Structure 1
């Protein structure tokens, strides 16, 4: 730690740590099902299509909820919005352990209103995934909002890269812990124990998080540093007026389409890793339960390195005198070209 940081303070990184652990829990909870999918499919007689339908419910509800999660976080505030999100998704994670009971009730309701019966196990897991997806949609909007509140612009990409690496840490911890818990105490216990971690996090979030202007643990020097490259009202009681942007107006911005295109091109691969890789390793290589721990840990360890590196790159360019916008654009270009260079090198080596 240099003298400048000592003088300013580093409480903002405590908040970043909380965001990191929340994101870790987020991915721990969503990974449990995929890791147990081979054994659950055998126990309940699921086909690949049945499992695909269960995972599709999570993705559909998650995608729809993301459209409104940010609004909810803005309405409730970062502190209580995050608490609501993690409470809902932790309850959804625990619900998986009671999917048979949940599915029986759901199937009876569907039959009563005249809709064809859905197999009990599938119905229960679908409903549990829906609750999980709704709650988990609040994680990234809340984490990004907290980052904007606690970090100056030049540090936000690094802070985002650090807390986002929690998704990879969660994906690493899940194959290390979940199969062992399931083998020793049963699959229901795996869902309950992992789901309960979120409630532990809420205690620390409630104790350590407050808006920077009301945070007694934050020094004035650090508060000034956080706001030094932002336009801040001189009077703390003056409320800044935020312009509300209509949904359709967002579609007129090229930045919106650039982000949508980037997500469209990458998310399919990421979701395959999250939900289908354990079943792929079982079908292709006969790997089950604890056999998949090492390959999954290696994969997500590398994505964690990429996440933190991707957050550091813009800071590197900004410190060299580039504007925050130019720094981010240059970093994204370098990162986008890196896989192409790797593929080209691999092709050249293979053809030798």
Structure 2
């Protein structure tokens, strides 16, 4: 039972993570919403756009390999701060990408800087969640802050086309990119690790470490330099690392496909561009908030029934993995109305966010806090590689079928991949780690 006098500062920290993730996805989505406009201005094909998006995915993937390690090494506060500084600069650089002789090269460079900075967001956020929440609450906290991805995706189609039409596409990149520096001020003033944070009273501190108390273990006081005490290569020795990485490889690209290609899909299928697409996409991502928060809370049902956190999470993830299968119906029902496509894809995207809240939390179930950002980064690298393959492959696929006048067939193939990815990921993850085995590094 929670102490009524307990402070709740951990939720203030969670709110900071929520806003950072919102900004992260605002910056990430500007390009996809301006894709029809920029394609006409610079003469891009779908394959050209796929290259630019693919460069982001690839840069993000390999940056994630090191970003988590950097966050563990520098500590959460400094690691997160440098991350958002870099990605905000990268977002603004898109505004001058056209000054480079090749627009594809210019935007690819901007996407690279953005990707390197953004690669630190989730390792830092997951590490912060492990610092401020006991295991039983981490999936919910992750679901709450991860819903910022949905809010960013909701706000972007409303705000970005409006800014572009009002002041030009360059100011869409500049205005959205500058928001990160505002968040930085709050982060530097409000965040400290729990053992140093005067806003966290003894009751809340004990609740945060309730896992250790229940297991009659001494509370492990976190340190900013704790990530310096293990080698990077140690992480690859464990099946748990490979299970997490495979789950991310299979499923991250699905979300990025929705994020980067849905505006192009509605343009190709229904001729919807600019502000005409704002409402459908905003509604679609509004629905996904339910999946993010609800999915984060879902494992608690099984944990309350006596399952350990990992087993409860995996049982919830199996059920979540079934929902994306409805996306298989999109090619058949969307011909009657685009609202069918909105509804079915919303269910698939909602399920992804529920899945994401839980797969991130499995890292905290299995690894010590000092390694969480590093393991998250390794999984993020795998997810980025999967996203690159899906984005670049999708662009080539769409160009092929567009040339033969059957663009809808290309999207049908991609929807099949998006539908079955989660079931495949779950089976492999469960095979690699059938039972939870906490690791001491």
Displacement after TM superposition at 1:153 (Å): 1.2
Q: In the alignment, is the contact (CA less than 8 A) between 2:71 and 2:80 conserved in 1?
A: yes
Q: In the alignment, is the contact (CA less than 8 A) between 2:90 and 2:114 conserved in 1?
A: yes
**Higher mean C-alpha deviation, range 5-14 or range 161-170:** 5-14
Q: TM-score, normalised by structure 2?
A: 0.69
Number of the residue aligned with 2:439: none
Structure 1 residues 232 and 141, CA gap change in structure 2 (3 angstroms): farther
Number of the residue aligned with 1:220: 202
How many angstroms apart in 2 are the aligned matches of 1:26 and 1:232? 37
How many angstroms apart in 1 are the aligned matches of 2:193 and 2:220? 17
Structure 1 residues 323 and 244, CA gap change in structure 2 (3 angstroms): same
Pairing 1:196-345 to 2, within 5 Å after superposition: 196-230=178-212, 231-233=217-219, 244=230, 247=233, 250-251=235-236, 253-340=238-325, 342=326
- Is 1:12 equivalent to 2:10 in the alignment? yes
Number of the residue aligned with 2:149: 167
Long gaps (5+) in structure 1: 105-118
How many angstroms apart in 2 are the aligned matches of 1:287 and 1:343? 21
Displacement after TM superposition at 1:43 (Å): 0.9
Structure 1 residues 188 and 7, CA gap change in structure 2 (3 angstroms): same
Select 1:51's aligned residue among 34, 49, 55: 49
RMSD, aligned CA: 2.5
Post-superposition Cα deviations, 1:7-31, rounded to whole Å, max 9, x if no partner, equal: 2221101100100110000000000
**Higher mean C-alpha deviation, range 256-265 or range 183-192:** 256-265
Displacement after TM superposition at 1:45 (Å): 1.4
Number of the residue aligned with 1:79: 77
Q: In the alignment, is the contact (CA less than 8 A) between 2:87 and 2:113 conserved in 1?
A: yes
Structure 1 residues 64 and 35, CA gap change in structure 2 (3 angstroms): same
Larger radius of gyration: 1
Post-superposition Cα deviations, 1:205-235, rounded to whole Å, max 9, x if no partner, equal: 1111001011011111101110121354478
Q: In the alignment, is the contact (CA less than 8 A) between 2:126 and 2:142 conserved in 1?
A: yes
How many angstroms apart in 1 are the aligned matches of 2:327 and 2:58? 32
Number of the residue aligned with 1:108: none
Select 2:96's aligned residue among 75, 98, 111: 98
Displacement after TM superposition at 1:266 (Å): 2.1
- Is 1:193 equivalent to 2:175 in the alignment? yes
Displacement after TM superposition at 1:296 (Å): 1.1
How many angstroms apart in 1 are the aligned matches of 2:220 and 2:55? 47
Select 2:135's aligned residue among 125, 134, 153: 153
Number of the residue aligned with 1:136: 118
Number of the residue aligned with 1:63: 61
Number of the residue aligned with 2:422: none
Post-superposition Cα deviations, 1:310-337, rounded to whole Å, max 9, x if no partner, equal: 1101222223332212221221122123
Displacement after TM superposition at 1:339 (Å): 3.8
Number of the residue aligned with 2:419: none
Structure 1 residues 325 and 190, CA gap change in structure 2 (3 angstroms): same
Number of aligned positions between the proteins: 327
Post-superposition Cα deviations, 1:262-288, rounded to whole Å, max 9, x if no partner, equal: 223322321211111111211221001
Q: In the alignment, is the contact (CA less than 8 A) between 2:39 and 2:45 conserved in 1?
A: yes
Number of the residue aligned with 2:369: none
Q: In the alignment, is the contact (CA less than 8 A) between 1:79 and 1:206 conserved in 2?
A: yes
How many angstroms apart in 2 are the aligned matches of 1:52 and 1:235? 46
Displacement after TM superposition at 1:5 (Å): 5.6
How many angstroms apart in 2 are the aligned matches of 1:86 and 1:216? 25
Post-superposition Cα deviations, 1:76-115, rounded to whole Å, max 9, x if no partner, equal: 11001100000000000001111123x24xxxxxxxxxxx
How many angstroms apart in 2 are the aligned matches of 1:275 and 1:236? 38
Select 2:23's aligned residue among 22, 25, 30: 25
Q: In the alignment, is the contact (CA less than 8 A) between 1:50 and 1:122 conserved in 2?
A: yes
Displacement after TM superposition at 1:133 (Å): 0.3
**Higher mean C-alpha deviation, range 324-333 or range 213-222:** 324-333
Q: In the alignment, is the contact (CA less than 8 A) between 2:7 and 2:199 conserved in 1?
A: no
Q: In the alignment, is the contact (CA less than 8 A) between 1:233 and 1:240 conserved in 2?
A: no
